[in-house]
Structure 1
Amino acid sequence: MADLLADRKTISYNNCMIQLFTTHLFGGIEIFILTGMAYDRYVAICKPLHYATIMNKQRCNTIIIACCTGGFIHSGSQFLLTIFLPFCGPNEIDHYFCDVNPLLKLACSDTHIIGLLVIANSGLVALVTFVVLMLSYFFILYTIRTYSAESRSKALSTCSSHVTVVVLFFAPVLFIYMRPATTFPEDKIFALFYTIIAPMFNPLIYTLRNMEMKNAMRKVWCHQIPPKQKLNFNYFCSWCHDSIRPHL
């Protein structure tokens, strides 16, 4: 993060390897956590009466440990594939952080086999988890088909934030890592989605789904309207107060 925030455009070899390892570590953990969240929503919607029994504290801890372990294995394999490459020529990468494909382009040896291993690692991890996510939502949609319109709307609203993050994260990841080890100028733009934009929107997307946060925002919005504008927004503020007043 220090190298990303610095004005200079150079990075040492050791810091580059650390950046590569940590980026894939946290990216891998996020991929597996998104998969675990899909399973959580599947249990909540498809087996609501058994939710407390299935998603107990021990199961949640197991899922978190599995996500961290999977991210570490993924990141460690990417690190080992890169650290032994010989670099003896150009030292400029067309990217804003150290990633595997830009570094393979600078290597002084044949990287065809390593490129295939990168696809087998990053590409298959992203593809398999994405398929699992799609299957979980297929079962959710299949289950709620017999629900009432209100229940279906509530169930889909519960999943909307998760689906948004999944699309922002997996679409660019699949584009970058499910192809041969080549680099395009557009890769930097796609990489922004899964390294910066999706994590940045995570708190916003998930927090705005919280009913207490919605009510607090309505209170703040109504109380901060200037007096002159309050005359024009009486109906809006009365709606706010009515919506947050507890119904007995």
Structure 2
Amino acid sequence: MFERGHVKEGMTVRSIDGQKLGKVFAVQEGEFLIEKGLFFPKDYICRYSEISDIRDGEIILLHGMEGLRRFSFDEDRGVLGQSVGTTGLTANASAAGVERPLVNQDSVTVPIYKEELEVTKRERQAGEVRIHKDVVQEERELSVPVRREKVRVERRDVKDRPAMHASFQEETVVVPLRAEEVEVQKRAVVDEEVVIRKDAIEEERRVAETVRREEVDIRSDGDVEGPRKLDLTPDDPTLRRS
């Protein structure tokens, strides 16, 4: 489905059989206008839904010229007259979005154009912060108290105490001695945290670009009244553009 953004002024329009119908000279919200001829051209209206394809900058329609709705330029009234079968459009050049001089029996209205700056913003990566962690090995010593048993031998003189179970055999008496050993284990713990926060800072930035505008140079021959300046408001129909 083609939309308004696909159609540009100046694009060539062809019928389904390849016949050149004209060029686009005005783009509207729901349709675009096709210019046919050179002097007092007959203009045609076409909806975006009537586009079959756009190839190499040219618009291919789903039908031929007979399927177009025609606008004819009425010289006596100075407006674009709507042909039979066209609905939903007003019969004046401003409402149709046709940016060309309006002519009637008493006056000619010539639009003067200028370019305005339109600023848009887009996000881009302005930099980055990298945090790199290295593994460092170091020796650490701990003092751990441990216990062990040692032997202290005492000999006591016992006089004339009866022996109940004397066997008078050789034997060895073993007395176990105990001691604590140190075992070292490692476990990972969180030592500290690094927190990174981003703050949005708003600043003014000046941009400059060259724009164009049209200036009027009025020259007259003979007994002609001097030019007048019309105080038109921005919502005046004669200033309305597509």
Bigger-Rg structure (1/2):
2
Q: TM-score range by the shorter chain?
A: under 0.3
Kindly indicate which of the two structures has a greater share of residues assigned to strand. Answer: 2
Kindly indicate which of the two structures has a greater share of residues assigned to helix. Answer: 1
TM-score with structure 1 setting the length: 0.17
Higher RCO, Cα 8 Å, sep 6+ = 1
TM-score with structure 2 setting the length: 0.17
